[in-house]
Structure 1
Amino acid sequence: MRNFWNTALRDLGKIGVAYILITVGVWLVFMIIIPQLIMFDYSLRPMLPLREIGGPKDVWTLKNYMVFFSNRLHMAIFFKTIWSSIIVTSTALAICYPIAFYLAKVARGAKVGLLMIGLIIPYWINELLRLFAWQIILADMGILNQLLIFLGIIADPINFRMGNGAVILGMTYAYILFMVFPIYNVME
């Protein structure tokens, strides 16, 4: 760790290091810590009409948490969310680790650049358009169903869009880039 700071000070100087630390600190405080504290504050307050906010009824309470933990539906949704995040993370890791390994250890020269561009270019398109493209691919008469029917694997179209599989697929696709590059950076 000491070597890191010595290198940073040598390359950037004290002002450069201070600038980076201040920038990261401001970003961390205003974009992560303060919004999280505001959300926590909201979670401790009752849901009131706008005219009553700041009045005598606007007090901190654990009632929202008691309702959340005592409601079976809320708990089911909470655990389904945790389970989905585990599946998405595991799937993305299973896809991204081999790609990052190939980029860091096997591919050389221009091939690395071309593969990186191939990973980045789809993310230049708005996320809504990419998810809409997945809807077209997974539609009842979409590309995937037509391919499976053509190959004789299925006789009738399958409704891929209605279910957890499509959600997992879309979320995994959305986060692939955010996993490939950190793993690649660590391996290189």
Structure 2
Amino acid sequence: MRASAAIDATLDSDFFRSKLSSYPWHIIEHDDGHLEDTISGGPANRKTVSKIEHTASCISTHQGEHFMSFCEATQRGQGVDLVITGGMPAYASILTLKIDALKQITCAFEASYPMTIPGEMLQWSITKKAFRMKNEGFKPEARLLGWLSVEFEEITSLHGKETRRSHRIEGYVKPVIQHAATQR
């Protein structure tokens, strides 16, 4: 299935002007103000733990409706790769969109499950995709303002029986485009 990104100079959202950020998923801020690192099980230091800007405002229906709040963008030649995540630790999934110099879109979805049944096969098939962006071009250090809608099927195969479930990820993104060599 072919799809192209569209330029929409009128694209706008309050999200583009918002300044929301949060600690990484494994850092909890308690009511009394102290931070806890749930991975190490100990306290976290405010001086060494930074909040992360929310660069996506997307809703995923995969594994129950939840927000995906982070988007990283990396320049790739004349195109850009977008990686949308969020919802950890409960929702360990990633949506990747690649937009080439001709604005052709390819995308993929993947998820991690804590347990699978032996012999169970999981795959995801993109059934619909759309991306609109406010401006032309993918320049490093520039903010990419866009809107995406991706529909996909999760296909589970076990003992020759196939089950399909439809899902959607849709919303706005505003990452700062990183040059491939400077991506974290």
Q: Normalising by structure 2, what TM-score?
A: 0.22
Larger Cα-atom Rg:
1
Structure with the higher fraction of residues in strand conformation:
2
Q: Normalising by structure 1, what TM-score?
A: 0.21
Structure with the higher fraction of residues in helix conformation:
1
